[in-house]
Structure 1
């Protein structure tokens, strides 16, 4: 295979993005799902589903297909900020948790790539930065060098290098898990990062108050949705 020739099965099509947008259930097992198909209620947000979940497996396959077919950059044009990018961020957080459970650095790296990709289409860089905190913490828990892991991811996705290396250059207090609105927790399946909604709400309200009135108006719907989803409204 030479030039820009690719195996047709490795080209990213809109149909491949079902795992990022929702849609019909995906079945099948893998190392991530422990060899069994996993299903979940459609009413539950993907971010809150049990780990692992069928969508986790589908996103792993999508990212692998993108890498084989010419690099993760080819996904950028197909990713919408409030749909696919949000799902990729959720996937990154979920992989940070699963990597700790499985003591698996490859799951950490998958999550890091997903968040880096999401950052290229994000409307609010703060959303992406927050998810880097659990990934950074996971690297430490796995006795890896977090700086090395983030630098390696930046080399693989150069367009996101400023985002990733900017995190590496932060002071430890600005990389702190609690400062970014997360805490180490557990559910019935094992280790899991949980959001500290008190910290998140305070940060949102402070940021909201600093915005010009027209921006506050445009963001009001998003703010109300977040408060409602987290039981504050």
Structure 2
């Protein structure tokens, strides 16, 4: 059976996102002010996808490039931050939908962890997580969407932000969820990678 072609507007948006996330740009995006141009572009993508069927969203999720998939992951964490800064649960939903779109990641655990800040954001703003997470899970059909659906029902000890590799930093307009995972921006991490990788790879 022939697959239905991807909506041309959505296809164009996805094509434009790739170059904007090339090289070190995804890493820079993590630290950009909120909102940034990429936040607007990802928001437009998710809004456009809301107008198509679940099957079409799944097909698009299956075809995401690794670069765009990781961009969506960072977007989701940024939306958790934005939800807290604005006291608006719509950004929690937006971030969750971005994650749910990941229908075929190399390792789902890389994306599961981003659910932690979104859940914590819902707690901080006093939003009911269950309905938000259920609505986001219906956005598409994937392993991640099922994880999202189940997350609010996990024991509280299994929802701790630190266990998902994040911490809270700042307050009010400077509040941000920050990853505690080792970063290649850390000189000690770069030195370790230099020792572990072949010489030509470590200098790329």
From 53, 56, 64, the counterpart of 1:79: 64
Aligned residues: 181
Aligned CA RMSD, in angstroms, stands at 2.9
Q: State yes or no: 1:125 paired with 2:123.
A: no
| TM superposition shift of 1:172 | 1.4
* Structure 1: gaps spanning 5 or more residues: 25-40, 202-226
Length-normalised TM-score, structure 1: 0.67
Residues 133 and 176 in structure 1, CA contact (< 8 A), matched pair in contact too: yes
How far did 1:182 drift? Answer: 0.8
Instruction: Answer yes or no: is the 8 Å Cα contact 1:85–1:121 preserved in 2.
Output: no
Is 1:228 matched with 2:168? no
SS in 2 for 1:194: strand
Look up the match of 2:193: none
User: How many angstroms does 1:157 deviate by?
Assistant: 2.2
Partner of 2:155: 171
1:98 to 82, 86, 89: 82
Cα distance in structure 1, aligned partners of 2:154 and 2:27: 34
**2:167 pairs with 1:183:** yes
Shift of 1:128: 1.2
Match of 2:194 in 1: none
Kept after mapping to 2: 8 A contact 1:133/1:175: yes
The DSSP-based 3-state class of the residue aligned with 1:158 is: coil
Distance in 2 (alpha carbons) for counterparts of 1:179 and 1:193: 13
Higher relative contact order (CA 8 A, sep 6+): 2
Equivalent of 1:115 in 92, 96, 99: 99
Please state how far the C-alpha of 1:48 moved relative to its aligned partner: 1.8
Cα distance in 2 between the residues matched to 1:103 and 1:185? 16
- Structure 1 CA distance for aligned equivalents of residues 40 and 61 of structure 2: 20
